[in-house]
C-alpha cells in the first residue's frame, strides 16, 4: 500500500492518507481480500487493473465493491495492465503503466506534459540498462493511454458475487481470530490480549493465505506427460505437486480432476496425478520452461501449459483440495536419491511469499522433502528468513502426524554457531537417552534396548523402524514408576536421527557470518550448511558481497566488481574432513538432489553452495534455470562434490559434476542486466572486466580439473595415517 500526496504547497503531514481523491488497485485479487475503497473520497477516482473490459467488469465485482462505487459516486476506470505489459515486452512489470494512467486521469499535470516528464524519467532511470529497456518502457507508456477506459456503471448493485472470507472456515481458531485479521490489513486494530503471551506463532499457516496473484496457472496434459517430476522440483512455492495412489481413491473425484496410470512399477499398479494450486501459484512459468515433454504432433504444446487463471480458479480449487486429501506415499518405498522419487515426498515448505520464480526456495523446499519432520533449521536473516517466517503466516508446514521441521531465525552474524548449538544439544540428549536406556535395561525388553542402541538409520526404512521402537519405548516407560523412566521419556525422541541445517544467503555465509561458518566447519560436528547464493545482498537492496562475480554491477560496485568471487567451497575443502558440494539445479537437478542427501549422510560438517538466480540479476525469472545452466557452461560456476568418505574407498573425494566451459564468461554475463548495464556506460571497463572474468573462469576450471584426477596421483590421496577418522 502506497500513500502519495500532491499539492501546490509544501506538505508536512506526518499521517497516512485516510481520504484519497485517487485510488488504484493493481491486483484484481485485492478486491476479494481488502476493503479497497474505504479511504476513497466521495466523487474520487478508482482505477482498477482488470482482465475484464469496461462493458463486462461491473458484474465481476463483489457486491460490496459495487455498493461503495455507487454510494461514493466514483469515477471508475479500468485497464488490462498485464496485457499491455506483455504486448510491450515488459513481462509482468506494470508500475510504469499504472503510473501513466494516474497522470492521465488525475489532472495533477496536463496529460501531454505528464507523459513527456514520465519518458524523461524513464530515460534517466533505465539508460544504464540499455536502449532496449528504455524503448520498452516508452512503448508501455504509449499503449497505456490507448487501453485506459472509463466504466459507465448502473446505479444499482447487480452482482451475484460477495467478498469471500479471508481464510477458509476449516482454519484453526487462532488463524481466524489473529492471522486472518493481519492478512486483511487490520492487524493494528487487534488487542494485545489475542496474541500468544510468549510471542510464539503457529507454523503451517501459509496454506490459509490465498494470495491469488497468478494471472495464468499451469494446466496438465496427462497424454503428453512423461512423469519426470521436474516441474515439481523447480516450483519455488510448492504449488504444483505429484502423487501416486491406489485407484480406489478416485471413487469420489471431482468431474474435472485428472489422473493417469503410473508408468513405472516401484509402487505397483497405481495412479499418477499432477496438480497445481490455483490460488497459491505465482504464475512464474518455471514449471513449463523445464518441462521436457512435448506433443509429437505439435512441438509447441508441452505436458504443462500456462492458461488464464480466472476461468479455471473454482474448478482447480476443488481439484487441489481433493488432491491434498489423497494419501501421501510411504517414504520407505521411494527412491529418494532421484529427481522423480524425491518429488513424491511431501514438501514441508509451501506457498512462501518469495518472489515469483525465486531461485532460492526450490532448494529449501527440496531440503524439507528429503529430511521432512526430522529437519532442524537455523536460518540467517535475509531473504530466506523473510519468506521463511515473516508474519502473519509461516510456510514451514506439518505432515499428517502433526510434525514438521523445527525452524529458527537467529541473527545475521551467528546462524552457523546457533545451528551448532542445536547439534551439541541433540547429541548430548542422545547420549543421555542411551545412558538411561542402559540403566533401565533390566525393566525393558532386551531386543527393544539393543534395537534402539544399535539402530541403522541410514535410510527411510531405518528411521521408520527407529520411530516405531521409540513409540513402543514410551509405552513401556509409562508403566515404570522411576524418575529415570520419566527423564528417558523426555529425551527418547532424540534417539531418532536428526538433520541439522544452517541456512542462509551469500551475505551471511561469505561475509558477515563467515567467521562462525568457518568455526562450525572446523568443529568436526555433524552440522549441514546450505548457502543459497544469489551473489548479492538481495534482501537489503542489492549490495555487493564477496560472492559477487567479476564485472557485476551492484551497490558499492557501481563500476563493476573488480575482484573475483570468493571461492568458499575451496576454503572448506582445505579442511579435508568437510563434505563440500557446489550445485545448480538448472544445470543438473539430479546432482542437487544427491548432494543434499550425501551432505546429510556424512557424519561431519558439510556445506552445500547452491546457485540461486535472483530478480536482482536483471533476468527474465521464467528463464532462471536457463541462466543457471549458462553460468555453469561459462565456467563462472563449477559443479562438484567433495566427499571425505571416499578416502576409505581409495578414491579421490573430489568429483567434478559439470563439463569444461563451452561458452565464454562474457556470453553468459551479457544475458543479465547486472553485467550488461556496465557495458552501456563504461564499455572499455566492461570489456576489460569480461576479459578478466574469462581468465579467472579458465584458471578455476583448470584447478578443479587438476584436483579431480583419479588414482594415486590425486592431490587428495593422503597416506593411510593421514586419513580423517
Of residues 504, 516, 452, 440, the one with CA closest to residue 478: 440
Burial-class residue 478 by CB neighbours within 10 Å (0-12, 13-18, 19+). exposed
| CATH value at residue 649 | 3.40.50.970
Beta-carbon contacts of 182 under 8 Å, excluding residues fewer than 6 positions away, are: 190, 391, 392
Other CB atoms within 10 A of residue 448 CB: 16
Tell me the C-alpha distance between 156 and 61, whole Å. Answer: 13
Say what the pLDDT of residue 723 is.
Answer: 45
Same domain, 180 and 224: no
What pLDDT does 471 receive? Answer: 97
Q: How far is CA 402 from the centre of its chain?
A: 23
Of 544, 529, 507, 531, nearest to 637 by C-alpha is: 531
Query: Residue 400: inside a domain, yes or no?
Result: no
Residues 639, 545 share a domain: yes
Q: Is residue 689 domain-resident?
A: yes
The radius of gyration of the chain from alpha carbons, rounded to an integer in Å, stands at 28
Q: Looking at the structure, do residues 189 and 330 belong to the same domain, yes or no?
A: no
Average pLDDT of span 605-629: 96
225 and 309 belong to one structural domain: yes
CATH number at residue 72: 3.40.920.10
Judged against a pLDDT cut of 80, whether residue 62 lies above it is answered with yes
Q: How confident is the model over 307-329, as a mean pLDDT?
A: 96
Give yes or no: residues 301 and 430 share one domain. no
State the pLDDT at residue 33: 87
Give percent above pLDDT 70 in the chain: 98
Residue range 413-431: average pLDDT? 97
Interval 397-408: pLDDT, tens: 999 999 999 999
Judgement on whether residues 463 and 554 belong to the same structural domain of the protein: no
Q: What is the pLDDT of residues 19-58, one digit of tens each?
A: 999 999 999 989 988 999 999 999 999 999 999 999 999 9
Does 239 map to a domain? yes
pLDDT by residue (tens digit) across 362-396? 999 999 999 999 999 999 999 999 999 878 899 99
Count of CA atoms in the C-beta half-sphere (13 A) of 662: 5
Q: Specify if 444 maps to a domain.
A: yes
Write down the H helix ranges in 352-442.
Answer: 361-371, 383-389, 415-439
Query: Can you give the pLDDT at residue 411?
Result: 86
Length reported for the chain: 725
Is 598 found in the same domain as 570? Answer: yes
The band of 6, judged by pLDDT with boundaries at 50, 70 and 90, is: confident
Which residues, 6 or more positions from 136, have their beta carbon under 8 angstroms from its beta carbon? 88, 89, 90
| Residue position matching grid coordinates 553452495 | 609
In which residue are the cell numbers 562474457 written?
666
pLDDT band for position 712 (cuts 50, 70, 90): low
Paired sense of beta strands 499-505 and 528-533, if any: parallel
611 inside domain: yes
Average pLDDT over residues 93-107: 91
Rounded Cα–Cα distance for residues 476 and 489 (Å): 10
Is residue 465 scored above 90 in pLDDT? yes
Q: What DSSP designation does 177 have?
A: I
Helix H or strand E segment including 22 = strand 20-25
pLDDT for residue 716: 77
* Residue at which a domain ends, from 292, 317, 345: 345
Overall average pLDDT of the 457-469 stretch: 97
Q: Is residue 103 part of a domain?
A: yes
Q: Where are the alpha helices (DSSP H) in 261-411?
A: 286-290, 313-325, 339-342, 361-371, 383-389
Sign of the Cα pseudo-torsion (352, 354, 358, 364, in order): negative
Q: Number of folded domains in the chain? A: 5
Give the DSSP H or E segment for 453. Answer: helix 446-453
Domain end, chosen from 302, 324, 345, is at 345
**pLDDT, tens digit, 9 for 90 and up, residues 539-579:** 888 999 999 999 999 999 999 999 999 999 999 999 999 99
534 touches 363 (CB < 8 A): no
pLDDT tens, position by position, 201-225: 889 999 999 999 999 999 999 999 9
| Judgement on whether residues 459 and 586 belong to the same structural domain of the protein | no
Q: Is the pLDDT of residue 109 over 90?
A: no
Q: Is there a domain that residue 396 lies in?
A: no
Q: What average pLDDT does range 239-247 have in this prediction?
A: 98
pLDDT (0 to 100) of residue 725: 46
Kindly state whether residues 539 and 678 are assigned to the same domain. yes
Based on the domain organization, do 188 and 232 belong to the same domain? Answer: no
Angle, CA 707 vertex, CA 701 and CA 708 arms, to 5°: 90
Sign of CA dihedral 283, 289, 293, 297: positive
pLDDT at 711: 65
Asked whether residue 6 is assigned to any structural domain, the reply reads no
List residues bridging with 242 in a β-sheet: 274
Residue 718: band (very low, low, confident or very high) from pLDDT cuts 50, 70, 90: low
Q: What is the pLDDT of residue 14?
A: 85
Does residue 720 carry a pLDDT above 60?
no
Sign of dihedral through CA atoms 221, 222, 226, 227?
A: positive
- 685 shares a domain with 568: yes
Domain that holds residue 336: 216-345
Instruction: Give yes or no: residues 42 and 108 share one domain.
Output: yes
Q: What is the pLDDT of residue 717?
A: 62
Provide the CA 214 distance to its chain's centre, in angstroms: 16
Q: Provide the pLDDT for residue 227.
A: 98
Of 314, 345, 376, the one marking the end of a domain is 345
In angstroms, the Cα distances linking 495 to 84, 367, 407, 441 are 59, 21, 20, 15
Average pLDDT of the chain, as a whole number = 94
What's this model's pTM, rounded to 2 decimal places? 0.93
CATH number, domain containing residue 180: 4.10.780.10
User: In this predicted structure, what is the pLDDT of residue 8?
Assistant: 85
The H or E element spanning position 64 is: helix 63-71
Amino acid at each position: 500500500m502506497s500513500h502519495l500526496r500532491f499539492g501546490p504547497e509544501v506538505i508536512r503531514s506526518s499521517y497516512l492518507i485516510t481520504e484519497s481523491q485517487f485510488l488504484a488497485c493493481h491486483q484484481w485479487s485485492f478486491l476479494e481480500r481488502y476493503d479497497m475503497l474505504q479511504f476513497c473520497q466521495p466523487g474520487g477516482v478508482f482505477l482498477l487493473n482488470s482482465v475484464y473490459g469496461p462493458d463486462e467488469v461491473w458484474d465481476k465485482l463483489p457486491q460490496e465493491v459495487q455498493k461503495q462505487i455507487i454510494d461514493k459516486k466514483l469515477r471508475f476506470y479500468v485497464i488490462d495492465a498485464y496485457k499491455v505489459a506483455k504486448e510491450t515486452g515488459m513481462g509482468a512489470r506494470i508500475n510504469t503503466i499504472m503510473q501513466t494512467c494516474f497522470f492521465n486521469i488525475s489532472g495533477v499535470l496536463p496529460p501531454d506534459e505528464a507523459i513527456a516528464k514520465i519518458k524523461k524519467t524513464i530515460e534517466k532511470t533505465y539508460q544504464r540498462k540499455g536502449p532496449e529497456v528504455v524503448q520498452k518502457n516508452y512503448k508501455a507508456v504509449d499503449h497505456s493511454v490507448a487501453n485506459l477506459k472509463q466504466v459507465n456503471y448502473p446505479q444499482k448493485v447487480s452482482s451475484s458475487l460477495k467478498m469471500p472470507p479471508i481464510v477458509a472456515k476449516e482454519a484453526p481458531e487462532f488463524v481466524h481470530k489473529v492471522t486472518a485479521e493481519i492478512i486483511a490489513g487490520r492487524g493494528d486494530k487487534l488487542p494485545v490480549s489475542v496474541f500468544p503471551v510468549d510471542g510464539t506463532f503457529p507454523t503451517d499457516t501459509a496454506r490459509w493465505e490465498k494470495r491469488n496473484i497468478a494471472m495464468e496457472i499451469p494446466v496438465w496434459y496427462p497424454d503428453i506427460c512423461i512423469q519426470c517430476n521436474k516441474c515439481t522440483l523447480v516450483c519455488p512455492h510448492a504449488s504444483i505437486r505429484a502423487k501416486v495412489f491406489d485407484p480406489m481413491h478416485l471413487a469420489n473425484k471431482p468431474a474435472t480432476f485428472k489422473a493417469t496410470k503410473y508408468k513405472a512399477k516401484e509402487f505397483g499398479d497405481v495412479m499418477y496425478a499432477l496438480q497445481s494450486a490455483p490460488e497459491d501459484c505465482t504464475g512464474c512459468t518455471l514449471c513449463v520452461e523445464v518441462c521436457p515433454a512435448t506433443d509429437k504432433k505439435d512441438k509447441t504444446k508441452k505436458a504443462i501449459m500456462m492458461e488464464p487463471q480466472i476461468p479455471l480458479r473454482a474448478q482447480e480449487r476443488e481439484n487441489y483440495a481433493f488432491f491434498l486429501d489423497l494419501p501421501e506415499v510411504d517414504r520407505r518405498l521411494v527412491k529418494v536419491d532421484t529427481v522423480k522419487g524425491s518429488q513424491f515426498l511431501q514438501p514441508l515448505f509451501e506457498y512462501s511469499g518469495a518472489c515469483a520464480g525465486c531461485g532460492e526456495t526450490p532448494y529449501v523446499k527440496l531440503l524439507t522433502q528429503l529430511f521432512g519432520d526430522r529437519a532442524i533449521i537455523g536460518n540467517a536473516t535475509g531473504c530466506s528468513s523473510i519468506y521463511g517466517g515473516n508474519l502473519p503466516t509461516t510456510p514451514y508446514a506439518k505432515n499428517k502426524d502433526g510434525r514438521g521441521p523445527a525452524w529458527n531465525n537467529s541473527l545475521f552474524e551467528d546462524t552457523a554457531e546457533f545451528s551448532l548449538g542445536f547439534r551439541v544439544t541433540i547429541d548430548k540428549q542422545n547420549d543421555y537417552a542411551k545412558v538411561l536406556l542402559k540403566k533401565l535395561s533390566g525393566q525393558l525388553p532386551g531386543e527393544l534396548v539393543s534395537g534402539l542402541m544399535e539402530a541403522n538409520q541410514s535410510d527411510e526404512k531405518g528411521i521408520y523402524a527407529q520411530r516405531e521402537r521409540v513409540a513402543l519405548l514410551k509405552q513401556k516407560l509409562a508403566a515404570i514408576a522411576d524418575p529415570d523412566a520419566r527423564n528417558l521419556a523426555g529425551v527418547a525422541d532424540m534417539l531418532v536421527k536428526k538433520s541439522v541445517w544452517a541456512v542462509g544467503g551469500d551475505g551471511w555465509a561469505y561475509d558477515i557470518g563467515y567467521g562462525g561458518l568457518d568455526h562450525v566447519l572446523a568443529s568436526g560436528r555433524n552440522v549441514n550448511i546450505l548457502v543459497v547464493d544469489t551473489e548479492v545482498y538481495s534482501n537489503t537492496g542489492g549490495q555487493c558481497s564477496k560472492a559477487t562475480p567479476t564485472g557485476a554491477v551492484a551497490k558499492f560496485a557501481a563500476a563493476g566488481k573488480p575482484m573475483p568471487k570468493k571461492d568458499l567451497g575451496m576454503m572448506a575443502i582445505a579442511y579435508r574432513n568437510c563434505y563440500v558440494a557446489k550445485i545448480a539445479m538448472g544445470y543438473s537437478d539430479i546432482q542437487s538432489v544427491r548432494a543434499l542427501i550425501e551432505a546429510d549422510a556424512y557424519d561431519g560438517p558439510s556445506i552445500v553452495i547452491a546457485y540461486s538466480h535472483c530478480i536482482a540479476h536483471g533476468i527474465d525469472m521464467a528463464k532462471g534455470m536457463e541462466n543457471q545452466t549458462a553460468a555453469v557452461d561459462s565456467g563462472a560456476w563449477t559443479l562438484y562434490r567433495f566427499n571425505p568418505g571416499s578416502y576409505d574407498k581409495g578414491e579421490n573425494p573430489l568429483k567434478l559434476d559439470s563439463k569444461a566451459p563451452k561458452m565464454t564468461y562474457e556470453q553468459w554475463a551479457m544475458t543479465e542486466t547486472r553485467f550488461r548495464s556496465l557495458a552501456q556506460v563504461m564499455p572499455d571497463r566492461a570489456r576489460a572486466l569480461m576479459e578478466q572474468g574469462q581468465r579467472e573462469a579458465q584458471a578455476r576450471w583448470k584447478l578443479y580439473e587438476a584436483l579431480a584426477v583419479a588414482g594415486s596421483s590425486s592431490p587428495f590421496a593422503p597416506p593411510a595415517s593421514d586419513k580423517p577418522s
